[in-house]
Amino acid sequence: MDLQALKNKYDIIGNDSALNNALETAVKFAPTGLSVLIQGESGVGKESFARIIHSFSARRQGAFFVVNCGALPKELVNSELFGHVKGSFTGATDNRKGYFEEADGGTLFLDEIAELPLESQALLLRVLQSGEYRKVGSNKVEHTDVRIVAATNVHLYEAVKRGKFREDLYFRLSAAQIRIPPLRNRKSDIYLLFRKFTSDFSEVNGMCKISLKPDAIRLLEQYRWPGNIRQLQGFTQSLTAMLSVKVTPTMQRIELSAQDLAPFMPREEGEPIPVLYEGPSQQQTSSFAAEERQAIFKAIFDLKQEVDSLKARMDRQALPAPPVQEDFQEAEWQGQDDFGAGRPIVHVETPSAPEAHTLSVRKTEEELIRQALDKYHGNRKKAAEELGMSERSLYRKLPEEYRKK
């Protein structure tokens, strides 16, 4: 399978050389059986690389399990990973298999591995070395044949030096490493991803796609996107929901200039409301460290938490355009001319007056939060991860009906 076919299969967008190198490395490691450590910031798509490794390995017919180590309750980590026997602790009313037993013969993807307690790290090291483990509450030694692919968004060796991660486990995992570049280092891929996200979102919702003029593209590329692809996806979907309108025979897309886009661009410090982009100089003089900025603002939702108090309304203006050309052979977002030549272009100016049919930013945000909470059955931590925001920020934004649950 060539590189582009691989990207198409796993929905990976971009042509950056560092991204291509990471993909090629994953394919090379896949058939070896080595444990692999995937390193990259939150939101860069580490799980996709783990799936590639599994699919190109001899274990492709076996199970593939994803375990978010940061989401496991600390008192139940060992039970989740290795299983337990009946009566081993309060609530253990029956024997239970752990992930290592379930994934026997397959691949186990341990995301956020740095969040594992030290005790669990020691047990994990034993499994990596010998394939042996014991269920919680049992003295019987069990055996498993599981390949480990681990991922982290922290600097593991720094965690070793701080005593938060075992050195022997680090060296066991780090022999085969893959580093995924952050989005800010893939500037040429940013607009391609934007087009993909607005195209997908618009198609599902029957809305016009958003395209950008060259000055707006430059504005999009200048922002550092601390939440990476996840943040850009959330921003693009939110922007499309706010500024787009339903598709009509005479209108298929909306084109924005930098002036149109600027009020909605996220920023990393100050009040989290739509503001004009300040440019690189503001980033360079910021007193926040990069990690602190990333922790504060990971998603567009955080940047709009007070927008409901502004009572903003969007003025959607549409100009007539020629009929749509229907004969397109490739995905529109992949074309050279923004969704295909001959597509109608509608310029949207900066909002200036309220309109009865417009959708407030707050309502859009609340609806996305509802969808995430419903998807994870009310689990706020998982919903916050899905939306790229902190759990605390999610709680501040909860719709009224969810606060009583």
Q: How many helices (H) and strands (E) does the chain have?
A: 19, 10
Compare 212 and 373 and report the one with higher pLDDT.
Answer: 212
Residue 105 has pLDDT above 70, yes or no: yes
Q: Is the pLDDT at 290 greater than 50, yes or no?
A: no
pLDDT digits (tens, 9 = 90+) for 155-169: 999 999 999 999 999
Q: What is the pLDDT of residue 371?
A: 81
Output the DSSP codes for 99-134.
Answer: HHHHTTTSEEEEETGGGS-HHHHHHHHHHHHHSEEE
Distance (Å, whole) CA 249 – CA 325? 10
Which pLDDT belongs to residue 34?
A: 94
Confidence (pLDDT) at 66? 96
Helices 228-243 and 187-205 pack at an angle, to 10 degrees, of 50
Query: Does pTM surpass 0.75?
Result: no
Tell me what pLDDT residue 252 has. 87
List pLDDT tens digits, range 265-274. Answer: 997 654 333 3
> Residue 397: what pLDDT?
77
Report CA-CA distances (Å) from 6 to 27, 239, 257: 10, 29, 34
Mean pLDDT of 383-403: 74
Identify the CATH number of the domain defined by range 3-179.
3.40.50.300
In sequence order, the β-bridge partners of residue 66 are: 109
1 pLDDT above the threshold of 80: no
Q: What is the pLDDT of residue 183?
A: 96
pLDDT in tens, 212-246: 999 999 999 999 999 999 999 999 999 999 999 99
Band (pLDDT 50/70/90 cuts) for residue 395 is: confident
| SS3 sequence of 262-330 | HHHCCCCCCCCCCCCCCCHHHHHHCCCCHHHHHHHCCCCCHHHCCHHHHCCCCCCCCCCCCCCCCCCCC
Quick check: 305 pLDDT over 60?
Answer: no
Q: Which of 96-100, 131-135, 184-188, 321-325 has the lowest mean pLDDT?
A: 321-325
Q: How confident is the model at residue 363 (pLDDT cuts 50, 70, 90)?
A: low
Query: Sorting pLDDT into bands at 50, 70 and 90, what band is 312?
Result: very low
Report the alpha-carbon distance of residue 387 to residue 383 in Å, rounded: 6
Tell me the percentage of the chain whose pLDDT exceeds 70: 74
Residue 343 has pLDDT above 90, yes or no: no
pLDDT of residue 47: 95
Q: Which residues pair with 37 in a beta bridge?
A: 150, 177
Instruction: Please give the helix or strand (H or E) that residue 178 lies within, else none.
Output: strand 177-179
Q: Which residues contact 342 (CB under 8 A, 6 or more apart)?
A: 322, 324, 325
Measured CA to CA, the distance from residue 179 to residue 169 in angstroms comes to 18
Region 184-192 average pLDDT: 96
Encoding tokens for residue 256?
């924005």
pLDDT for residue 306 is more than 90: no
pLDDT in tens, 24-53: 999 999 999 899 999 999 999 999 999 999
Distance CA 156, CA 165 (A): 7
**362 band by pLDDT with thresholds 50, 70 and 90:** low
pLDDT at 60 over 80: yes
Confidence of residue 369 (pLDDT cuts 50, 70, 90): confident
Q: What is the pLDDT of residue 372?
A: 80
Contacts for 67-74: CB closer than 8 Å, 24+ residues apart? 67/99, 67/108, 67/109, 67/110, 67/111, 68/111, 68/112, 68/385, 69/110, 69/111, 69/112, 69/113, 69/114, 69/115, 69/116, 70/111, 70/112, 70/115, 71/112, 71/381, 71/382, 71/385, 72/115, 74/117
At residue 116, the pLDDT reads: 95
Output 341 or 237, whichever has higher pLDDT.
237
Mean pLDDT (the chain) is: 80
Q: Which residues contact 281 (CB under 8 A, 6 or more apart)?
A: none
Q: Is 388 left (phi over 0), alpha (psi -120 to 50) or beta?
A: left
Domain ranges of the chain: 3-179, 185-403
